[in-house]
Amino acid sequence: MQTFQGRLDAVGGFGPGYDLVRLVLCYEVVVWHCIALTAGDVSGGLQSPFWLPFTLMVPMFFTLSGFLVTASAMRLPWRDYMLNRAARILPALFAVVLFAMLVAGPIATSLPLADYFSDRRFWHYGTNLLALPYHQLPGVFEANPYPGAVNGSLWTVRWEIGCYIMMAIMALWGIARRPWVVPLLALIWAAANIVVVNIGLPAMPRAAGVVTGQVFSAGGLLFPYFLGGASIYLFRDRIPYHGGLAAACLLLIAAVSVLLDGQQLQKDPVLLLVMIAPSAYLVSWAGLQKLAVPAPYRGGDYSYGVYLWHMPVLQLIQHFARIEQWWLLLLVGFLPVTLLAAASWHVIESPVLAARRQQTRSKHAASTQPNQATP
């Protein structure tokens, strides 16, 4: 039976389906937020038979990232690896945060501009530039059905950066020689989450309690998903790559979504952690399929831009138009969100990545240049 390594060899070491998988996941996030931004909460989505795929959309991003980033961490020196990650994440993040502060905020605030710019919440929102999430700008979107939240998508960025740092540490430690550590760490993390949620944290100093509470929170659950994707890559020469297994994972997710109540179980760590293995397998399997993205998206990787830009755009639409149906908000917002994502890729993300690749090539050329010194 073909393994993941065999499949990687067959597709030239590159996952041809990952671009489409990323697009599907990011537009799933858009749909979820359209439901929330019209109804004022996500209860409608949790009551639908598709609640589990919605709940798993962000964790699946992290399993996908774990599979892809592990290869980079094992191949590159840690400094180059971290610089590459920073080049991919930070430029677009800076752009969307500054857009919210300097464009969306001033045109949507209910305050005089002098009060808007002098309010401490304006400056506090700038902590998003450091991946420290803060969701409100003074007087902005306060009358929207989902009030106050400027860009709820930014909450995942710090966890993504945390996963990158964790992978860099494991690579320095010699992850290639100790791959068993990764699934073991995922299991320990999962078990700790279950214990903390069902029993609670023991008494500890305030600072330690804050850190521990964050690690074993909804965001902390993303780490085991990242490690699940990393485990698929590390054991790629042993794990079968088979469509039947992928179909079984898909059927399991569908069955749980249809048979169980999303409102009760959406935040249950036991259920979410049980879903790590099928989510990691399904995403990794699909990423290595030959799945072509639609023609309008073939000019670049617009998924990160869609993820970052869609919520402030949708909130602006709600501020000026007040749409009550989620599907109509999706219809109205689809084009501007996609165009902004394309602009983000071509104007910001792609040039920075190209400059980073050029820097890497120049560094490599310099390191392999014969010594020209005169004896």
Structural domain contains residue 159:
yes
Structural domain contains residue 197:
no
State which amino acid sits at residue 155: W
Q: C-alpha 69: how far from its chain's center? A: 13
Structural domain contains residue 166:
yes
State the Cα–Cα distance between residues 356 and 166, nearest whole angstrom.
22
Per-residue pLDDT of the chain (375 residues; tens, 9 = 90+): 899 999 999 999 889 999 999 999 999 999 999 999 999 988 878 888 888 898 899 999 999 999 999 989 998 999 999 999 999 999 999 999 999 999 999 999 999 999 999 999 999 999 999 999 999 999 999 999 999 999 999 999 999 999 999 999 999 888 878 899 999 998 888 777 777 766 666 666 665 555 566 666 667 889 999 999 999 999 999 999 999 999 999 999 999 999 888 776 655 667 777 899 999 999 999 999 999 999 999 999 999 999 999 999 999 999 999 999 999 999 999 999 999 999 999 999 999 999 998 887 777 666 656 544 433
State the Cα–Cα distance between residues 275 and 52, nearest whole angstrom.
10
Q: Which of 273, 349, 259 is nearest to 309 (CA)?
A: 349
DSSP 266-297: TT-HHHHHHTHHHHHHHHHHHHTS--PPPGGG
pTM, two decimals, is 0.91
Structural domain contains residue 364:
no
DSSP 28-54: HHHHHHHHHHHHSSSHHHHHSTTHHHH
Domain housing 84:
4-173+220-358
Structural domain contains residue 236:
yes
Structural domain contains residue 202:
no
Contacts of 196-204 spanning 24+ positions with Cβ under 8 A? 197/268, 197/269
Structural domain contains residue 97:
yes
Structural domain contains residue 138:
yes
Number of domains the chain contains: 1
Residue 178 DSSP SS3: coil
**What b/e readout covers 119-143, taking b as 16+ CB neighbours within 10 angstroms?**
bebbeebeebeebebbbbbbbbbee
